[in-house]
């Protein structure tokens, strides 16, 4: 029977498992503050399949582009950007950089999250904080009900059907004879509209 | 009511955060192999996430789906490989940094240790020097105390100790030993004390001669040896006496013990002509010291003590004899004993020395 050998590979695997359980925010923090490249790698690997999927049309259509060139360049760009950019949502940051690689004109512009995105994120944070406080949660629910009633009828309908009645996206699109993309866009706009009203009310208070 | 509450809670889902689709969920969503709840959650996320929606849109096309799997695996492998490479180099760098830190710490430690040792050595040397500077004055006092009872023993020849001390260092140890035999209680203290050095012994010898001279006759061999103190010892004597001038009070005590009677000097002159010069030189140095010590008492206002000291010096043939007589006269005048003062001034005038004029003027003024 061979004795157990303690090796770097074992440490690496254990470390990777531990890092995999961390949230995006923690991984970014580790990569920045501790210069932990393993954390950076775990974060990029977490989204790598989506990068591949998004880049596939570009790899097939654009002339002189190969996966061996595009992905290392993309990963390097993301790695550099990670150390300098403020990243609230990793998916938005990766999507922006993938598009920037594909549209070479935007290459040098840094990533900034949009105002709408920041408003949505602020409301999301507020709801997360209210989860521990019943009274605050009730106040927030009442406020959201008021805001939904102020929205246009179509947006109100889609939000109610999708989030409250839990109708699938395809079914909702079929009921209105819209495409899934359009239905998604209506829902996205309705959500952004609602977030901006909520944040406006918060600032006015 | 309950459904109303549920609906109320569901409204919060509009802004609930859902993670992006993972490697497993993406194909399963496309294949419709998700539960209703899971599918709804992913669709909630799809509303916000352009990356996931674009990925789904692309993979819904069959030609991209074929390319997706191998590319996805290879990019994942590529990232893992680069992580491993990077982490290995990172760990090597960290190890090197640690080693460098350890080395630098050791260097600092040894530098600090060397500085501390140097400082310690300097401090020790300074202490040693200070002790050396202090030692000469202390043993003098010690020897004085020890030797004090010796004159009380009548059987001890008075001049013997000076002779022995002046001749060679070896007999010095004999002198205290004999004294110890003669004076019983003193013996203990003598034995306990460390042997005195040359410098320390000389004042003690003088004290003996001073106190014992009028009491007992001096044997001849001791006189000879006493008359010939080596010049080196004289120098040392001066050097030890020099600091005493600055501190009058303790010196005065020593002076009392160190005075030499004039008779002894006269006898010395008669005995040996060859040693006359050295014999004259010695009392002049001692006289100077004794005169200055008396002056100190005079200045302090202790006229009786000053008079007694001046009296000791009055018989001296050196210039200090004349000076002492003059000062003695001044002391008498200060005390109001004008008769004695007049007589002493007259003696000074008769001596026809450098103080004659002053003495005459003092006489006139009396």
- Is A2 within the bounds of a domain? no
- Is B14 in CB contact (< 8 Å) with chain A? yes
Provide the Cα torsion A46, A48, A53, A57; round to 10°: 150
Q: Same structural domain for residues A142 and A176? A: yes
Domain hosting residue A94, numbered range: 8-106
Sign of the four-CA dihedral A41, A44, A49, A51 = negative
Q: What is the pLDDT along chain A (205 residues), one digit of tens a residue?
A: 434 333 334 445 666 678 888 999 999 999 988 888 889 999 999 999 999 999 999 988 877 778 888 899 899 999 988 988 888 899 999 999 998 888 875 556 777 878 888 888 899 888 888 888 888 889 889 999 999 999 999 999 999 999 989 899 999 999 989 999 999 999 999 999 999 999 888 877 6
Q: Is A88 helix (H, G, I), strand (E, B) or coil?
A: coil
- Is A89 within the bounds of a domain? yes
Q: Which residues of A touch B52 (CB under 8 A)?
A: 50, 91
Is the CB of B20 less than 8 angstroms away from the CB of A194? Answer: no
Q: Are B314 and B328 in contact (CB under 8 A)?
A: yes
Q: On the CB side of A77, how many CA atoms lie within 13 Å of its CA? A: 24
Provide the Cα torsion B91, B93, B98, B103; round to 10°: 150
Extract the tokens encoding B273.
């002509």
Q: Same structural domain for residues A101 and A119? A: no
Nearest to A134 by CA among A125, A122, A124, A142: A142
Q: Are B268 and B275 in contact (CB under 8 A)?
A: yes
**Cα–Cα distance for residue pair B212/B252, rounded to 1 Å:** 19
For residues B63 and B121, the model is more confident at B121
- Is A3 within the bounds of a domain? no
Is the CB of B26 less than 8 angstroms away from the CB of A50? Answer: yes
Q: Which of A39, A74, A106 is a domain's end point? A: A106
What are the residue ranges spanned by the domains of chain B?
A: 2-60, 137-317
**Cα–Cα distance for residue pair A184/A193, rounded to 1 Å:** 14
**Cα–Cα distance for residue pair A126/B56, rounded to 1 Å:** 30
* Best of B3, B5, B10, B15 to mutate (most A CBs within 10 Å, chain A): B15
Q: Are A57 and B61 in contact (CB under 8 A)?
A: no
Q: Same structural domain for residues A125 and A198? A: yes
- Is A113 in CB contact (< 8 Å) with chain B? no
- Does the ipTM surpass 0.90? no
Reported for B217-220, long-range contacts at CB under 8 A and 24+ positions apart, including other chains, are B218/B157, B218/B158, B218/B159, B218/B264, B218/B267, B219/B157, B219/B159, B219/B160, B220/B271
- Is A97 within the bounds of a domain? yes
Residue B251 has pLDDT above 50, yes or no: no
B21: how many CB neighbours lie within 10 A of its CB?
A: 26
**Cα–Cα distance for residue pair A94/A87, rounded to 1 Å:** 10
CATH number at residue A15: 1.10.1740
Q: Which of A81, A106, A131 is a domain's end point? A: A106
Residue B170 has pLDDT above 60, yes or no: no
Residues 326-365 of B with CB under 8 A from A: none
The helix or strand, by DSSP H or E, that contains position B247, with its residue range, turns out to be none
């Amino acid at each position: 029977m061979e004795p157990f050998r303690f090796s770097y590979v074992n440490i690496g695997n254990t470390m990777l498992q531990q890092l995999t359980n961390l949230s995006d925010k923690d991984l970014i923090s580790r990569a920045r503050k501790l210069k932990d490249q393993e954390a950076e790698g775990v974060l990029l690997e977490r989204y790598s399949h989506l990068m591949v999927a998004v880049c596939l049309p570009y790899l097939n259509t654009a002339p002189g582009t190969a996966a061996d060139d595009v992905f290392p360049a993309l990963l390097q760009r993301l790695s550099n950007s990670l150390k300098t950019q403020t990243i609230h949502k990793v998916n938005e940051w990766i999507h922006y950089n993938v598009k920037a690689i594909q549209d070479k004109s935007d290459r040098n512009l840094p990533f900034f999250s949009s105002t709408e995105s920041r408003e949505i994120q602020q409301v999301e944070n507020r709801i997360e904080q209210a989860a521990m406080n019943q009274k605050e949660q009730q106040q927030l629910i009442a406020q959201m009900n008021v805001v939904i009633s102020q929205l246009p009828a179509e947006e109100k309908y889609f939000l109610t059907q999708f989030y409250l009645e839990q109708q699938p996206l395809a079914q909702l699109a079929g009921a209105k004879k819209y495409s899934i993309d359009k239905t998604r866009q209506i829902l996205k706009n309705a959500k952004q509209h609602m977030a901006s009203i909520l944040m406006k009310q918060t600032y006015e208070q | 009511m309950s459904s109303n509450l549920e609906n109320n809670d569901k409204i919060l889902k509009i802004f609930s955060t859902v993670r992006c689709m993972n490697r497993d969920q993406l194909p399963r969503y496309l294949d419709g192999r998700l539960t209703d709840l899971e599918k709804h959650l992913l669709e909630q996320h799809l509303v916000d996430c352009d990356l996931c929606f674009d990925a789904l849109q692309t993979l819904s096309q069959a030609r991209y789906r074929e390319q997706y799997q191998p590319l996805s695996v290879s990019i994942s492998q590529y990232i893992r490989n680069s992580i491993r490479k990077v982490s290995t180099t990172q760990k090597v760098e960290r190890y090197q940094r640690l080693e460098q830190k350890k080395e630098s710490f050791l260097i600092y430690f040894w530098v600090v240790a060397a500085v501390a040792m140097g400082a310690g050595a300097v401090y020790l040397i300074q202490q040693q020097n200070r002790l050396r500077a202090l030692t000469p004055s202390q043993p003098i006092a010690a020897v004085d105390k020890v030797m004090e009872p010796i004159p009380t023993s009548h059987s001890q020849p008075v001049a013997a100790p000076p002779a022995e001390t002046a001749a060679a260092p070896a007999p010095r140890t004999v002198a205290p030993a004999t004294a110890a035999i003669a004076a019983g209680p003193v013996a203990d203290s003598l034995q306990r004390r460390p042997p005195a050095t040359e410098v320390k012994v000389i004042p003690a010898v003088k004290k003996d001669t001073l106190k014992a001279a009028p009491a007992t006759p001096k044997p001849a061999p001791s006189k000879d040896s006493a008359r010939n103190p080596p010049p080196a010892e004289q120098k040392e004597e001066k050097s030890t006496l020099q600091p005493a001038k600055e501190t009058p009070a303790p010196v005065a005590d020593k002076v009392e013990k160190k005075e030499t009677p004039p008779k002894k000097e006269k006898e010395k002159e008669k005995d040996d002509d060859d040693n006359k010069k050295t014999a004259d030189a010695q009392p002049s140095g001692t006289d100077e010291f004794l005169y200055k010590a008396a002056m100190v008492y005079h200045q302090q206002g202790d006229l009786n003590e000053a008079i007694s000291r001046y009296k000791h010096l009055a018989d001296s043939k050196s210039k200090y004899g004349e000076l002492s007589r003059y000062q003695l006269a001044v002391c008498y005048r200060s005390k109001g004993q004008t008769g004695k003062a007049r007589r002493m001034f007259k003696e000074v005038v008769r001596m026809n020395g450098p103080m004659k004029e002053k003495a005459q003027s003092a006489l006139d003024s009396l």
